[in-house]
Each structure stands twice: as structure tokens, then as C-alpha cells.
Structure 1
Amino acid sequence: MEGILTYLTSRNTVLKDFILKMSTGVVTIKIVTWMLLKSVNVLYIPLYITRLFKKSKICPAIRDEILLLPASELADKIRKQELTSEVVVKAYISRIEEVNPVINAVIEDRFKQAIEDAKYADKLVSFGTLSVEELKEKHPLLGKNQFDTVLICIQHLQLVGVPLTVKGSIEVAQMKSTSGMVTRANITAKNDAVTVKYAREAGAIPLLTSNIPELCMNWETSNKLKGTTRNPHNTTRTCGGSSGGEASLLASACSIIGIGSDIAGSLRLPAHFCGVWGHKPSPGAVSSIGHYPSCKSVEEWQASFTLGPMARYASDLKLLLEVIMEPEMRSTLLLKEPVNFKEVRVFYMKDIGSFLTSKVNSDCLDALHQVVDHFNSICYNNCKEVNLSLIKYAPELAGLSLLDIDEVDNIFEGRGEGCYKELFKYMTGRSRSTLNVVLYGVLRRLSGYLPRSMIENAKGTMKELKNEIVKLLGTDGIFVIPTCPMEAVYHGDMVRKALDSSYLFIFNALGLPVTNCPVAYTSKGLPIGVQVIGAPNCDRLTLAAAVEIEKAFGGWKPPSAANGG
């Protein structure tokens, strides 16, 4: 209660009234949550023992230098006919076939169609009536039946002939759309999701759909259809979730750019665990049409959930975001507007200060300090450590806010009706769903017993925290904080460390743009990094910070190089 009393003396009258009325309920939730998390550790004892006998599989070394080129450079070389798209696509297909048995990241491939797409892209590039510069600005239709109308132009060709991988919850025409569910095993997408459509129109060539947890409801990537996806840096560790397949493919050089999604750190946590770049855009910047699960409460959903770019190189984040963003948002985000990073103001926090989360370990703290020291050396203004007093309550308040979003696609009705029956089925080995999906229903059901005033006041407090951050950052500031308190954990550990993901999902609840940035590696070869947060629609600042961090610290490294193999 000491923290609550301190909080009472520092906030305004409205918040004092809120805490006085709701503190008993909030403290009860905290205590119960803490006890549950601690009790889970006892159940993990057999798992700890089995780990002693497991060894990591080695990710094959990269032998083809084509796999080391950024997407922007690949597109430029293809345009100039220094490389063919067919050669590039075949290089990635070969790499995927070599590595996937180790990481298990692919749901379904379209390799044959991708090679045909690459051949058409090469025909386009060699088409004699268009110069290299014209090809950069014009986009002929690439469809098999429309090649004769190649001079019909629809948009710039930023990604001509470049391979693309797509998270398995995002629809790709004529490919499975299971969302990791046994009950959707035979469902095929009729059309591309909007983001995939935009990427194809820019010349990108989808290669495959990547593995996800069931309904994207896990911070690890495992389901009953495809099994568990592994971290290429150490296969005994998780790749994170729910965009874990994408992150694993990118980290192992099986992909160069990918499209993921983020509702509770689903894009950034895998990027952190696997040492790649991921960006959660500002709400409304990228369409979510064609993603499953979805939500009928459109306004609430779009405020917290978004699709976004993932990449092996920082500069490709901006390139892919420019391609997949909604056209009407271009004048709002102004991604092409140059950023003089020396003029950017930098704020940071070492941790959020919640007793529900793990303490940030020394490696992750060191990564944060390295970034702060670097920014201090190049920016006109010194970095400033800040104390956002409300952020320590964000795990429970943001959790309540996100859990309150109604009509999200799941296996239950309403607020989790039928969850207890499904939980019993799971405990007796008869459920067709995974544990996290079942627990979501239970949490939804339990949240229905809370006073409505508690939920509304939680949302109000989060709104005040957002206002505090937005006022602090303005249009020229960024906020740096650890992405997660630790590096990639062993498979299964995110169940007992679920609230550590609050370092990520608080920014979904706040509706702010965030970029995950790999900074360094632990002594065991596991990536660690930071996340950079901006004010709404200031994505260009966080993306500029990512490029600066990559210049300073090197960014992605191949798994074998990172672990000394």
C-alpha cells in the first residue's frame, strides 16, 4: 500500500478518488496475480530438469552473399539488371529449405508461383520501352494475363522482384488461413489482405506464410497444426510470439522483409528475442483488413491493434511501411521528411517499476545505457532520464483495458461463456485449443465480475499516462525503454513471465508508435535491445532512431556469428 499512498499524494483529485474507491480491488488483483505467477514456478520443476538434457541445434551458415543484401539494395540491383529476381527468389527458397527443418517456421509455401512471379518481374525490368528511372516510378501490372498491358502504371516499384514473407494470420490469396486453429485447417484465403495487396503492387513477391500461435494469443509460437517454432540463435529458446515465425525466418536469413501484427507486443517481442527490427505503426497507419483474428469493435481494435513491417535491416522498415501504409496517411506520417537526428530530444527509463514484472537484467540494462551514451554523444541535447509515475501501474491497467475489447474473434461467446468447460477439457486432454486461448476465455470471464467503474477508471488513467508522454515528447522527442526485461527464454517460460510483456503491451493500450531495435548480444549469443517510442504519427522519428542505432551497433548478426559458431 505504500506505493498507492505515494501515488495518492502525487496525483490530482480525480485520480485520488479513483484510487480510494478502487485500491482494494486493484491490490487484490495484484496479489492474486503475483501468487498465481509464483505458484506456476513449482509446476515448472519437471521442465527445468528436462532442459538439462536438451542441446541447441546449429543453424546452417550463410553461404550465398545475395542473402546478405538489404531489400532496398536488392530492388536497386534488380532494376539495374545487376541481379535477376529469379536468382534472388531461388536463393531464398534454397535457404528456407535448408533452415526450416531446424526452426520450423513455415506454415505453407508458394515457391513455384514465386518463381513464376520472379520471371515476370525480370521481363518487366528488361522491357525495352522503359528506362531504369521510369521503372522506379511506374508500376506495370504484373499479372500473367495482363503482361501485354505492361505500360498501364499504378504506382512506384519500390520492391520490384524482392521476396516477402507474411505472418500466418494475414491472408495471402489461395493460401491457408488457419490462424493456427485446428478448426480452420481447411480454410483458404480468397483474397490478399490489404497490406499484401499493396506489397504485391509495389513489386514484392510473397514466398510463404509463417508460423503463429493459435489465434495469435501467445508470446511464444506454437500450435496444434504446425508445432513449435524455434529461435535460430538457440533452438532451446523461444522465438517469441505471435509474429514468431517471421522473426525466426528473418533472423536466420530465410527472409529479408516481412509483415507482422501487434496487439500486445506480438511483433516487437519476437523481433527482440531474435535480434531483428520490428515497427508497430501509429493507429490507423496500416489497414488490418485481411487479418484473422479480427474484431467487430472496430474503433477500439484499431486503437490498439495494427499490422506492421519487420526486417533484417533498419532502413528496410521505413521502405516497407511506405509500401503497406494507407495512402491517405502519407500526408500525416510524412515518412519522406528528413530527420536531423542531432536535433531529436531523447528521454529514457531503465524499467517501469512494477512488482508484477521481472527486474530488467544486467545485459538489457547495459544495452539501454549503450544507446543512451551514443545518443548523448551525437545529439545537441543530453538524454534525460524521466520518472513517469503512472507507468508502474500500467501492467494491470493496460491489461484490463485490452482485455475489455469486445467481439474479438476467439473460441468463446460474449465474455468467455463456456470457458470453464473448455478449461476442464484442456486439463483432461480433450481440448482442440492451446492453453493460452483457453486462459483468455477464463480471464475475459473473470473480468466481467469487476465493477464497470474500475475498467473505465483504468482506461482513464491510461489516457492520462498517454497525455503525459505525448506532452513530454512533443513532435521532436523519443522515449527509450527496454523491450523486455530479459533475452529469449526457454520454450514454455513465457507462461510464467507473461506480465513481462507489459513492457510492450502498455504501448498498444496507449496507441503510440514503437520500434524494436537490436543492440547487442549476451555471452550466450542471444540478442538484446531496446524499443523506441514516439508521439502519435511521429513514426519517422522512431524509424530514424533505428537507423542510427544500426549504424552505431551493427544490428542483426547471423546466428552462427552471434553465438560464436
Structure 2
Amino acid sequence: MWPFSSARQEWMAIISGKKSRQANLVNETAKLLGEPAQTGMFDAYLNASASEIVQHIQNEDEGWTATNVLQAYIQRAIATHKKTNCLTEIMFAQALAEAEELDREFMATKKIRGPLHGVPMSVKDLFNIKGFDSTIGYTSFANIPADDDAYLVKLIRQAGGIVFAKTNVPQTMLSFECSNPLWGRTLNPWSAAHTSGGSSGGEAVLVASDAVALGWGSDIGGSLRIPAHFSGAYSLKPGSDRICRQGCTAAAPGSTGIAVVAGPIGRSVSDIELACKVVFGNSPSGPYALPPVPYRDVTLPSKLRVGYYISDDFVQTSPPCQRAVLETIAALRKQGHECIEFMPPRLWELVVLFSEISSAEGYKTMMSHLKHDPLEPSLFLLRYSPMLPAFIRRFASWVVEKLTGDKIYPRLIRAARVKPIGELWKSFYRATTYHAEFQKEVWDANKFDVIIAPVSASPALPHGATKQLAPLAGATIFYNLLDIPVGIVPVLRVDPAKDQLTDKWRATCVNHGSKILQGKLYDGPNAPYNPEKMKGLPIGVQIVGKKWEEEKVVAVMDVVDKALGPRGFGPGQGAR
């Protein structure tokens, strides 16, 4: 790996330099601000939603200034980072200067700058901020500061929001284990033994710890939704034409086979709505121009028609994740809504299609940036599956199917390979054909307003489990291929008394989904799924809408949130 000792020394120097600078910036601000004041105001700042922060500042309520609020969140972020290692680039000093400028501006005009005035915010590491790196976990991207802000960051600042940090991501951003050789591993805020998810893992941790009022991430296969589910946050994955992504650093720039979308992560539905109102339909002219469709108010029917499933046909869903869907449905039925259980057609085929499309180039571009970085274990399958010679791939998949009877996992083995462009076009066409089928058989035939589904087969996995269980992202990947909006609402927490693998539950695994993946998740003395060790981990649900119906999804998220009632999630309820 190290042909010359100087290469290793240079690599180590980059990592040491980045981490040292980060630590110095954190410590300088911690010393400047001192220990968090044990006062009611400190808690009041952290317990307020983004919209409430703006309202308090606008009303000139005692103690409510952009500077005071930001100081509280920075102090909370520092404590959270020390616990979970969630931050990358630190811009505390710049943010404090911006907050002071906002306060002077407000004192002079008595007008807020915009709907995010004084709201402390963070962004996933991929969003460019002038003067700061966007390393996205690669040491080869270090010390190359951006020369301009991402368009989303510009919109945030125009609306009065204050970005004070960037957050950690997995190596390549195509994994849901938030770890990389440059910044290290980000821990789940509720359990140090479990992952925070990815690729927006650091962002979800900050939000779920009351360490930022509102955050921003991206999603290509569950990168907003899985971390929100693992950490207990709210989120929205919009369709690809609602939020501009100009100024985002990518591991494989130019790849458009599966749309990467930007979206908010927050502590309440109202904050998700506020974020979308600021950015929807706003874009520059040129290649990043979007349809000029702003956030639109919607009126829901008094009686919603909700489709739901408690497990897909890919991997049987664990008891707490099934329970989250069932408790949500029970709460909606209690409010008079019509809920119909159904099974979408062949969702596992979309996971195979995702693998076919994403691996067409063999992941060579994103892997080329590794240089001297060691490969993270979570990327083992991604890295080496496309390298298998064709005859070994065919033989291996045949043997696996014959020995196990699993018909899905061998398809994944065959799908992950380099392909000629004509074969890639066929995969695109199959994805479009499936989308038309889904529209006809699910939306049109059933007249559903939304679909409620599990976010994942499992709660947050223990560190390292993604080496063999990366395909578990299938539960979210479905809706990236369809490019339709999905919201996340946290519902409950793992309870060992309720979430054991009973004989009745195990009977549902027979002839269901991938036997290999189910075995890796649930079987053996060291099985990743362990309700005792997972006790207290959050569980969310996906709320799925039709194309261009993001506003309806957010409105239904609000209905669900209110139907479920108080349950330990939201501003002031974060991990400590």
C-alpha cells in the first residue's frame, strides 16, 4: 500500500493537520464561550423549533438574539461532537460574526432578514462553503477550499440562517456506516456501539442531539432517511427537481443514472416545512435551473386513504420496525383515516436495478479518490464485487442459489459488474417500465394518498455490520429509483420486552426475501439484530408520496405526528 515512506508520511500529515486544526477551532470557541450557562434561557434556546427561534427574535423577547441563540447551539454542538465525532469543518467564529451582524441589522431596522433569521444551521460536508474544504471523507480532497458557496448555502444566508459547521459522511458517501479515514467514525447519539447511519450521518446526529436547529443533507439511496431513522429525527427526501444542488462536491461527478437530491433534517414537521418553503423552486439560470415551482399550500381530504406494508419482499423487517408502522396505522385509524395493507410489486427488483446502474462503471471514479486511504469495511462488497471475473461471478451466483435457495442475493452478485453502455440503457428502461407499473398498480388502482412503510429492516446496526449488510439500504433505495418524495417521522424506540424474534415472527421469514441477508442480520450468537443491545434506539417510518407531491407528504407527516402524540421526539428531546 505504501510504495514510499514519504507517501505515508504525507498522508498522515494531512489527517493530523486537519484534525489538529479542527480541535484548535473547537477548543478556542469553547474557551471563548465558557461552560454552558445552567439557566432557563439556555434550555429555552435548545427547546425552540426553528420557526419559534425566528418568532422570539422578531418579537424582541428578552434574551432572544441571534448571537445568544447561536452561542447556546455551538456549546451544545461542541459537547455532541466530543461524544459522537460528528463535525468536520468548523466555522464557529465566522458564524458568530454573522449573528452579530444580524443583531445589528435588526436593531437598526426592526425587520428580520428572512424566514430563517438567526436560526443556527449545519450542512453535510458535501455542500461547498467558500474558504472551507469539502473533503467528503477523502484525504485527497483536503486543503482545497471552495471558492464559492453552494447555491443552497446562499439561499440559507439570504433567508437569515447561520451555518456554523459541516458534518461527517461515510467514505465515498455510498454507505450507511458513517466513517472515513480522514475524520473517523461518527457514533449514534443514543448508543456508542451503533452507527449513526449514512451518508448524512453526522448531520442527523447533530439534529437529534438538539445541537442544531435545522440541518441539510442529501440522498441517493437512503442517505437522509436512514440516519434520521437511526438517530430519531424528521426528514424529507424530495424529488430531484425541487432543491438546487449547484455547488455540491461529488465522489463521481457527472453520474446521473440515479438522482442525488438535497433535503432537510429537522426536529419537527414545522421545521421541515419551513426549510422547504425557503428553497423549493429557487435556482440559478443555466445547467442547474429547476422548474420554478415554489412550496405550495395543500388541503388534505378529511379522510386519508393510506396504503401500508410492514415488510417488503427483500428482507423481512424486524419487530420494532414493523411495530412502528403498525402503531402509526393504529393512530391514524383512531383519527378516522382509512388504512389498507398491501404489498408493492417486486420491490426487490429495484434493488437489483440500483446495483446494475450504480456499478456500471465499476465504481472506479469514486474509488480513484482513495489514493492512500484504506478502504472502509462497509465498502467491501462495493469495492470488490465488480472485480470478479465473469465466469467466477456466474459460477458463484449459481452455487449460492443452488445451496441456499435464495434467488435474490445471486441476482445482486450478477448485477454488480462493469457494463457496456447498451446494457446500461436497458437498465434505465427497465427502471422506467417498473415506475409506470408502480404508478398503475399501486397509485392508480388503490387511490392512495400516501404509503407508510418501514425505513429499514433494522434499527441502527452495530459498527462494522454494514460490511455484510450494505444491501439493507434496499428499503429506501426503492424510492430513489422511482424519484418520488418520502418523509421520515420518528415513532418509537426499541423495547426488548416487545421486540424479540418470536417463533411467530420467524415463521414469516420462510420463503420471504433473501435468506442470506436475513440470516446475516438475525441468526447466530453475534447477530447484529439484538433488542437488548439496541434498547432505546429510535425507529421511524417512511411516508411516501406521488411525484411532485412533496407538500402533501409534509402535510401528512404533520397528521401522523399529531396522531401519534407526545413520545419523546422533537425540540428539547434530543440525546444528551
Aligned position for 1:400: 356
| 2:543 aligned residue (509, 532, 536) | 532
Aligned position for 2:490: 518
Paired letter, 1:385: E
Aligned position for 1:116: 97
Q: Is the 8 A contact 2:252 2:366 kept in 1?
A: no
Q: Is the 8 A contact 2:360 2:420 kept in 1?
A: no
> Hey, what's the Cα distance between the residues in 2 that align with 1:186 and 1:352?
44
Aligned position for 1:315: 270
> Hey, what's the Cα distance between the residues in 1 that align with 2:211 and 2:545?
30
> Hey, what's the Cα distance between the residues in 1 that align with 2:467 and 2:220?
17
Aligned position for 1:282: 239
Q: Is the 8 A contact 2:224 2:236 kept in 1?
A: yes
Q: Please give the TM-score of this superposition, normalised by the length of structure 1.
A: 0.75
State the secondary structure of the residue aligned to 1:264.
coil
1:455-497, Cα deviation, whole Å (9 max, x unpaired): 5444334323322333433697211110001111111112222
Aligned position for 1:44: none
> Hey, what's the Cα distance between the residues in 1 that align with 2:573 and 2:265?
21
Aligned position for 2:530: none
Q: Which moved more, 1:390-399 or 1:553-562?
A: 553-562
1:118-144, Cα deviation, whole Å (9 max, x unpaired): 11111222224x5x5xx4xxx4xxxxx
Distance 1:468 1:450, change over 3 A: same
> Hey, what's the Cα distance between the residues in 2 that align with 1:263 and 1:79?
37
Paired letter, 1:106: L
> Hey, what's the Cα distance between the residues in 1 that align with 2:540 and 2:464?
22
> Hey, what's the Cα distance between the residues in 2 that align with 1:529 and 1:269?
9
Distance 1:299 1:178, change over 3 A: closer
User: Are 1:388 and 2:321 an aligned pair?
Assistant: no
User: Are 1:90 and 2:71 an aligned pair?
Assistant: yes
Q: Is the 8 A contact 1:233 1:559 kept in 2?
A: no
Q: Is the 8 A contact 2:280 2:294 kept in 1?
A: no
1:401-456, Cα deviation, whole Å (9 max, x unpaired): 3333799951339xxxxxxxx9xx9xxxx654434557534445554456877654
> Hey, what's the Cα distance between the residues in 1 that align with 2:96 and 2:71?
7
Q: Is the 8 A contact 2:362 2:417 kept in 1?
A: no
User: Are 1:557 and 2:569 an aligned pair?
Assistant: yes
Q: CA deviation at 1:79?
A: 1.5
> Hey, what's the Cα distance between the residues in 1 that align with 2:241 and 2:291?
13
Structure 2: which 5+ runs fail to align? 1-35, 284-288, 389-415, 496-534
Q: Which moved more, 1:116-125 or 1:236-245?
A: 116-125
User: Are 1:335 and 2:304 an aligned pair?
Assistant: no
Aligned position for 1:324: 279
User: Are 1:247 and 2:217 an aligned pair?
Assistant: no
> Hey, what's the Cα distance between the residues in 2 that align with 1:339 and 1:512?
20
> Hey, what's the Cα distance between the residues in 2 that align with 1:330 and 1:402?
24
> Hey, what's the Cα distance between the residues in 2 that align with 1:561 and 1:210?
21
User: 1:58-457 alignment to 2 at 5 Å?
Assistant: 64-82=43-61, 83-128=64-109, 130=110, 135=112, 139=113, 157-293=114-250, 295-297=252-254, 299-301=256-258, 304-327=259-282, 335-340=295-300, 342-354=302-314, 357=315, 359-380=316-337, 382-404=338-360, 409-412=365-368, 431-436=373-378, 439-445=381-387, 447-448=416-417, 455-457=424-426
Q: CA deviation at 1:378?
A: 2.8
Q: Is the 8 A contact 1:313 1:555 kept in 2?
A: no
Distance 1:368 1:320, change over 3 A: same
User: Are 1:494 and 2:473 an aligned pair?
Assistant: no
> Hey, what's the Cα distance between the residues in 2 that align with 1:192 and 1:392?
39
Q: Which moved more, 1:341-350 or 1:196-205?
A: 341-350
* Root-mean-square deviation over aligned CA pairs: 3.0
Distance 1:519 1:442, change over 3 A: same
1:299-357, Cα deviation, whole Å (9 max, x unpaired): 535xx211111111121111112222332799875633133253432111222212xx3
Q: Which moved more, 1:340-349 or 1:542-551?
A: 340-349
Aligned position for 2:479: 507
> Hey, what's the Cα distance between the residues in 2 that align with 1:295 and 1:74?
38
1:350-389, Cα deviation, whole Å (9 max, x unpaired): 22212xx3x2111111110111122223355x21122322
> Hey, what's the Cα distance between the residues in 1 that align with 2:149 and 2:126?
12
Aligned position for 2:401: none
Q: How many residues align?
A: 461
Paired letter, 2:431: M
1:203-247, Cα deviation, whole Å (9 max, x unpaired): 000010011112212211111111111111111111001100001
Q: CA deviation at 1:398?
A: 2.7
Q: CA deviation at 1:286?
A: 1.1
> Hey, what's the Cα distance between the residues in 2 that align with 1:495 and 1:555?
33
Aligned position for 1:33: none
> Hey, what's the Cα distance between the residues in 2 that align with 1:498 and 1:159?
37
Q: Is the 8 A contact 1:521 1:562 kept in 2?
A: no
Distance 1:213 1:556, change over 3 A: farther
Q: CA deviation at 1:91?
A: 0.4
Aligned position for 1:19: none
> Hey, what's the Cα distance between the residues in 1 that align with 2:282 and 2:574?
39
Q: Which moved more, 1:388-397 or 1:541-550?
A: 388-397
> Hey, what's the Cα distance between the residues in 2 that align with 1:333 and 1:385?
33
Aligned position for 2:443: 473
State the secondary structure of the residue aligned to 1:508.
helix
> Hey, what's the Cα distance between the residues in 2 that align with 1:258 and 1:556?
20
Distance 1:242 1:341, change over 3 A: farther
Distance 1:293 1:545, change over 3 A: same
State the secondary structure of the residue aligned to 1:496.
helix
> Hey, what's the Cα distance between the residues in 2 that align with 1:339 and 1:77?
28
Paired letter, 1:113: Q
Q: Is the 8 A contact 1:214 1:434 kept in 2?
A: yes
Distance 1:246 1:344, change over 3 A: same
User: 1:13-28 alignment to 2 at 5 Å?
Assistant: none
Distance 1:305 1:445, change over 3 A: farther
Q: Is the 8 A contact 1:346 1:477 kept in 2?
A: yes
> Hey, what's the Cα distance between the residues in 2 that align with 1:495 and 1:452?
29
> Hey, what's the Cα distance between the residues in 2 that align with 1:559 and 1:123?
27
Distance 1:79 1:559, change over 3 A: closer
Q: Is the 8 A contact 2:224 2:237 kept in 1?
A: yes
1:173-229, Cα deviation, whole Å (9 max, x unpaired): 111211110111212111111111111111000010011112212211111111111
> Hey, what's the Cα distance between the residues in 2 that align with 1:206 and 1:435?
32
> Hey, what's the Cα distance between the residues in 2 that align with 1:560 and 1:70?
9
Q: Is the 8 A contact 2:381 2:467 kept in 1?
A: no
Aligned position for 1:485: 457
State the secondary structure of the residue aligned to 2:193.
coil
Distance 1:561 1:91, change over 3 A: closer
State the secondary structure of the residue aligned to 1:336.
coil
> Hey, what's the Cα distance between the residues in 1 that align with 2:344 and 2:260?
24
> Hey, what's the Cα distance between the residues in 1 that align with 2:239 and 2:267?
21
> Hey, what's the Cα distance between the residues in 2 that align with 1:458 and 1:436?
25
| 1:463 aligned residue (405, 426, 432) | 432
Q: Please give the TM-score of this superposition, normalised by the length of structure 2.
A: 0.74
Structure 1: which 5+ runs fail to align? 1-59, 140-156, 414-421
> Hey, what's the Cα distance between the residues in 2 that align with 1:558 and 1:400?
39
